Amino acid sequence: MQGLKLAGSLLLAGLLAACASNTPQNGAGAPVENRTASTDTSTNQVTDDGKMAQVDLDKQNGDEIANLQKGSVFFDYDQFTVRDEFKGLIEANAAYLKKNPAAKLLIQGNTDERGSREYNLALGQKRANAVKEAIEVLGADSARVEAASLGEEKPRCEQATEDCYAQNRRADFLYQGK
Amino acid sequence: MLRMKKYVRQIGLGILSTLLVARVANALDFEVVGTGGNQIPVVIMPFAQENAYAQLITPVVKADLTRSGLFKLVDFTPAQTPTDLNQIPYDELTRRGVMAVAIGTVEPQASGVAVVKYRLVDVAKHEQIDGLALNQPATQLRRIAHKVADRIFEKLTGDRGVFSTKIAYVLKQGKRFFLQVADADGYNPQSVVSSSEPIISPAWSADGGQIAYVSFEAKKPVVYVQSLSTGNRKAVANFKGSNSSPAFSADGSRLAVVLTQEGHSQIYSVPAQGGPAKRLSQSNGIDTEPTFAPDGSIYFTSDRGGSPQIYRMGSEGGAASRVTFEGAYNVSPDISPDGKGMVFVQNAGGRFRVAFMDFASRQTQLLTDTSHDESPSFAPNGKLILYATQQGGHGVLAAVSSDGRVKQKLTELAGDVREPAWGPFTGR
């Protein structure tokens, strides 16, 4: 589980980096606009050549989505509750949904390979549901959050080992739209 | 113990390489790994003039009967191929303990038609038991051979043969998934769906014309129904959340499916053309894997009692009664065509094995000695069960007789095979 915790921390670091990246694209120009006012301390660099940088909001959101989609919530064997260590990830997703009213989130629950495929699909649904509830508790609009299951069909790791099974017992985040 | 292998491979690259998906050209390979106790000794005489065509009749009939495990194919090559009852060497056959002998002819006609005649003869009585003359395009010789094997099987065992039926399964090759439909002997596999996303849970309509399945092409499970003849497909359950585990009602008008409209997985009924869903099961846990019994009732897997067990409810849903009690994991029911029993997967000590329960006695018998069994599916005559298991880390199909005595393995040569579903009888 150490590795997973580490992955979670890296992800949060990545999110912070994404938030701080509202700097001019080419590093030389001046910002035209910055809509996330809370992070504007690093953006007020005015340079001499008169060129101004353009902030591409689509790309910015895309980067943020890409970072959010890198995160996964991992579950213990036969368990369906979201462990505390994933609180930061849940909060980041809830915050993104609140900030972007058009964003839609598909949460995909997954299981390890042991047992019936259809029963595992139902178990993966329980994991997706647990993550959905955790995000909704933080105020995200439930109409824009969908929980579905991939069961054992999309394993991240394909060996029959406990380490592998642990990587497959997870929920992933997939954003549709912006 | 009889070991037979590799008579099912010559299907060819010759025929199928013209398809875009040439990698799927390999047929399933059959291996009989156990046979029944009392085999019926028979001789299948070479069909006269069958060499007029590349597709021979006799080897197909022999292979079918051998694979069933119920026949002992006595090796006998006559000096002259008999084409009539009075040419059969009864004394010699009696000396070898043969009970029945099949003779036949293949007569090429103009315009690509072949007349195939077959007779089954009781060796002791010198009497014809069965006879058939078929006038068919010569492209159908393999199908005719299966029909002949079906007739022999039925006359000598009393049960209808399943050699002319089809099976569906999912093949995973590399990162691609194929929904395959093949003859019951693994021949003539055809990809009816191919996708880069997983496909699971194929289910046949009772008339064999349609297949329902779950595809993950939309990044979540959606239930489709597809016509096998036209390839037309439609998403018939595509509700918010997951849609899975389809099963056709006997009249083909509706599907039992599993939806997550209330959050947790519950069993619903939807029109086979798609439409509003009606909830059938009522629990606070998981209800999944619905399957219809011949009387219309629905058997399914539920964890409402704390562990996954098999339950039964009426065709309109509602209250359910628990069916399995032994062990902590009983899933994936399939009801025998006569409604008298079911096969399912039981996990005992980490081994997932196919088991059979007789409803009258409530006795359960483990049918297999493998460890990763999934998706048992009855042949339409109830005599064989097709299931998925693993061999050397590969997904393979296997079949076992309902008494557990006859075992077969079917191996796809390149890829993982899983999710088998045995198709229905079609026509007579």
Query: What share of chain A in percent tops pLDDT 90?
Result: 57
**A154, B16, B171, B172, B189 from B175: Cα distances, Å:** 11, 21, 10, 7, 19
- Separation of alpha carbons B336 and B285, rounded Å: 27
pLDDT digits (tens, 9 = 90+) for A14-58: 443 333 333 333 333 344 444 443 444 444 455 567 788 888 777
Query: Residue A13 is which amino acid?
Result: A
Query: Does the ipTM exceed 0.85?
Result: yes
Question: Please, what are the domains in chain B?
Answer: 39-157 (3.40.50.10070), 166-422 (2.120.10.30)
Predicted local distance difference test score (pLDDT) of residue A17: 39
Q: Which of residues 84-143 of A touch B (CB under 8 A)?
A: 106, 108, 114-119, 121-123, 125-126, 129
Predicted local confidence at residue B427, as pLDDT:
73
How many beta-carbon contacts under 8 Å exist across A and B? 94
The answer to whether the CB atoms of A126 and B200 lie below 8 A apart is no
Query: Which token pair is B216?
Result: 């993950």
pLDDT tens by residue, A116-138: 999 999 999 999 999 999 999 99
Higher per-residue confidence, B405 vs B257: B257
Task: Determine whether the interchain pair A116/B374 forms a contact, defined as Cβ–Cβ distance below 8 Å.
Answer: yes
Average pLDDT in chain A: 79
Interface test with B, best of A119, A133, A150, A176 (most B CBs within 10 A): A119
Mutate to test the interface with B, among A79, A105, A118, A173 (most CBs of B within 10 A): A118
What residues pair up with B176 in beta bridges, in sequence order? B173
Question: What pLDDT does A62 receive?
Answer: 78
Q: Which residues contact B425 (CB under 8 A, 6 or more apart)?
A: B160, B162, B165, B208, B380, B381
Residue B100, pLDDT score:
97
pLDDT at B35: 58
pLDDT digits (tens, 9 = 90+) for B266-322: 999 999 999 999 999 999 999 999 999 999 999 999 999 999 999 999 999 989 999
Closest CA of chain B from A159, distance in Å: 9
Q: Letter for the amino acid at B207?
A: D
Q: What are the boundaries of each domain within chain A?
A: 2-176
B373 touches chain A (CB under 8 A): no
> How many C-beta atoms surround the C-beta of residue B356 within 10 A?
21
B216 touches chain A (CB under 8 A): yes
Residues 6+ apart with CB under 8 A from B86: none
Helix (H) or strand (E) holding A61: helix A57-70
Q: From the CB of residue A38, how many other CB atoms can be counted at a distance below 10 Å?
A: 7
Residue B110: its pLDDT value, please? Answer: 84
| 8 Å CB contact between B376 and B332 | yes
Residue appearing with tokens 């007779």? B119
Instruction: Kindly compute the dihedral angle of the four CA atoms of residues A14, A19, A20, A21, in this order, to the nearest 10 degrees.
Output: 90
Confidence band for B69, pLDDT divided at 50, 70 and 90: confident
The H or E element containing residue B61 is helix B58-68
Contact B31, B411 (CB under 8 A): yes
Q: Residue A150 has which token pair? A: 């991939």
pLDDT exceeds 80 at position A60: no
If one compares B12 and B397, the residue with the highest pLDDT of the two is B397
- Provide the pLDDT confidence category of residue B10 given band limits of 50, 70 and 90: very low
DSSP B416: E
B352 to chain A: closest CA residue: A115
Neighbouring CB atoms inside 10 A of B234's CB total 13
Q: Which CATH superfamily is domain A2-176 in?
A: OmpA-like domain (3.30.1330.60)
Three-class DSSP category at A6:
helix
User: Residue B198: is its pLDDT beyond 60?
Assistant: yes
Q: Are B119 and B91 in contact (CB under 8 A)?
A: no
Residue B31 pLDDT class (50, 70, 90 cuts):
low
Using CA atoms, how far residue B337 sits from B41, B269, B341, B377, B378, in Å, is: 28, 22, 9, 11, 8
Residue B27 has pLDDT above 60, yes or no: no
